[in-house]
Chain A
């Protein structure tokens, strides 16, 4: 049945997340961007909200709630409204944990899931993006070759979230003509973690590249063991989640531009009273809505266990383009003030470009 009605619990979660984003993320976002740092005192409260653990199985220490990509999309929109970089940092470990919960063997779940259900934030993340142009998350160049009962991984990954502190990475690699995901511990021999990336945007989110030089892994490192896992599903989830984050980012720009345009005067009246500005704001609103429904649709298909490749593609590709457009227009509405760092819009402009390039880094 076609319905746009979030459940009562989802509305409560969304409202709580919005309050948190306004009170805890907005005030520190600029400082984190300027210093390219991710303070623990921002991460910990986000962990206390139970972002990652409530939807992990109770037997492994989680909250035991059913996984809901829809709830996660609603939550992520609010967090990214606060700050996209901090939002991604907060949920990156959940992407790892959810993949393990969905596809891992009992042994993998027992070993890894409790890490995310402790009192403190625990970092781990997906390693999907590869260097070079036309990198395709679905067709990685990183290679897994059999060796004895195990595997040898060779290749490079880029912009891996939380690489500075993650205990494990889930590395997507080509294996025997298909794709697989491998759990690679931080201290694996042959794994070199690069210096923190200097980035255009999302500077609060630490990322780095991974060099995998013949990293030898036991058979048990392959996610799902002999069964393997559905890499496509992980990537679809990731696209859907990034789409939701892009909605939040874009809405943040609109929410900032509207009151600004009503206050700023030119030629004797508020610039919002000029069609050139008013129509631009209307279009920004129209696109925020459009993006959101596409993100919801992708999340809903994931939640129902249906194929979501097409929906996730559309949600991600559309949101990436429109968020960039909205951030661009946001700068224009603010004019010179859109260009100076006293206002957050220039940061969102950089964040939009950066976030829309990322794909496959958070599979919620």
Chain B
């Protein structure tokens, strides 16, 4: 049955998330202003707050499904702050790739490490088939030799290892691209610096350099050294991991957008401007009408995220919906945070408040994990029934 109400259990979990999230928010400004510092793995308050995900173990059959709840939890966490977490999770995007494509031996050896994922390079972002980093097999020593530069590596400084995309044959294009597991400390693997950013400044975003970096032959993720003739199967295996990470990124942005809306609503109410839903937009003051539109936009975007996650919980394909929600939320959170600043004016741009930070922080969510344009490309191909060669 179509339903949008949270059960009592659902609400309990999300209330706990919000409570923790507010604690995190106390640290938000500090780590934004002190970009070189990393928030701790666990806040001092963590001992008083059990992990929210643990509460999801105890569920009744009529509670909201795990994927949908995950999105609401992700949003609830970033509602407090993007970068500061009560406890830092151990996994990185590389771990998702390992789970999706790693051999049993690789899972065993690497599964316990936090793995970042290094795809983007100074010359290629949205089109990973243009990867220039090379991996050359040294048959004599049975090692791969990596050379190249990677940027925007999330969790790149803290990660204990990384999944690196590199080509073993540039002439083969996409088919020649493979993923490699590289441990921190491998010779020739240099963490160049932490990137300086518009927002999510406390976040760990690294730049890597590989200079004749030697790794064992068995570190090729999945172990398949052959170059497929036609299909890009291996590549697709990794891209598949995006079907839940894209909705999650959308949810992250929406958490911050909701914080901006909550702040704006509170400030308007303090100023004596009440938000009423009874009249039509044409009967409202410009400020209230503007706010109502932003709120409706938020709801719309949130529902697309829940839809994508719900499909995943039903074991139904959600490739299109993952892109739809990422595109929708990516645009929505930009408009919402920009609009809230416009509504509040000077209060919106002052660093005394977090609104200007949310405005900066949400901006990344329409860029990473596939830009809004990439999402539209995927959506367009799907609804038009076009392949890559027909629309690019």
Q: Interface stretch among A97-105, A112-120, A136-144?
A: A136-144
Q: Which of A286, A294, A313 contacts B379 (CB 8 A)?
A: A286
**Judging by beta carbons under 8 Å apart, are A313 and B384 in contact?**
no
Q: Which of A136, A272, A304, A317 contacts B296 (CB 8 A)?
A: A317
What DSSP secondary structure best describes chain B's contact surface? helix
**Judging by beta carbons under 8 Å apart, are B1 and A290 in contact?**
no
**Judging by beta carbons under 8 Å apart, are B278 and A138 in contact?**
yes
Given contacts A1-B7, A285-B379, contact A290 B303 (CB under 8 A): yes
**Judging by beta carbons under 8 Å apart, are A285 and B383 in contact?**
yes
Q: Considering the chains assembled together, what is the distance between the CA atoms of A278 and B379 in angstroms?
A: 9
**Judging by beta carbons under 8 Å apart, are A293 and B283 in contact?**
no
**Judging by beta carbons under 8 Å apart, are B3 and A294 in contact?**
no
Residues of A within 8 A of B311 (CB): 4
Residues of B within 8 A of A279 (CB): 373, 376-377, 380
Q: Considering the chains assembled together, what is the distance between the CA atoms of A5 and B381 in angstroms?
A: 26
**Judging by beta carbons under 8 Å apart, are B295 and A314 in contact?**
yes
Q: Considering the chains assembled together, what is the distance between the CA atoms of A146 and B278 in angstroms?
A: 26
Given contacts A7-B1, A297-B303, contact A317 B281 (CB under 8 A): yes
- A306 at the A/B interface (Cβ < 8 Å)? yes
**Judging by beta carbons under 8 Å apart, are A5 and B376 in contact?**
no
Residues of A within 8 A of B6 (CB): 1-2
Number of residues of chain B lying within 8 A (CB) of chain A? 51
Q: Considering the chains assembled together, what is the distance between the CA atoms of A57 and B26 in angstroms?
A: 56
Residues of A within 8 A of B306 (CB): 2, 4, 293
Q: Which of A258, A285, A286, A314 contacts B299 (CB 8 A)?
A: A314
Given contacts A2-B68, A137-B280, A293-B303, contact A300 B2 (CB under 8 A): yes
Q: Which of B300, B310, B390 contacts A290 (CB 8 A)?
A: B300
- B391 at the A/B interface (Cβ < 8 Å)? yes
Number of residues of chain A lying within 8 A (CB) of chain B? 53
Residues of A within 8 A of B277 (CB): 309-310, 312-314
Q: Considering the chains assembled together, what is the distance between the CA atoms of A321 and B281 in angstroms?
A: 11
**Judging by beta carbons under 8 Å apart, are A5 and B384 in contact?**
no
Please, what's the 1-or-0 string for B267-310, where 1 marks a CB less than 8 Å from any CB in chain A? 00000000001111111000000001101110111011011001
Residue pairs across A and B with Cβ atoms less than 8 A apart, 20 shown, are A2-B5, A3-B310, A135-B283, A262-B384, A272-B386, A273-B386, A273-B391, A279-B376, A281-B383, A286-B304, A289-B307, A290-B303, A291-B300, A293-B300, A293-B304, A300-B4, A304-B5, A314-B300, A317-B281, A318-B296
The 7 closest A-B pairs by CB, nearest first: A293-B303, A290-B300, A278-B380, A314-B296, A282-B379, A282-B380, A313-B277
| B contact set with A: CB distance below 8 Å | 1-7, 10, 62-65, 68, 277-283, 292-293, 295-297, 299-301, 303-304, 306-307, 310-311, 314, 321, 324, 327-328, 373, 376-377, 379-381, 383-386, 390-391
Given A70-B2, A294-B303, A306-B5, 9 more contacts at CB 8 Å?
A3-B64, A4-B306, A134-B282, A232-B278, A258-B383, A262-B384, A275-B377, A304-B5, A318-B296
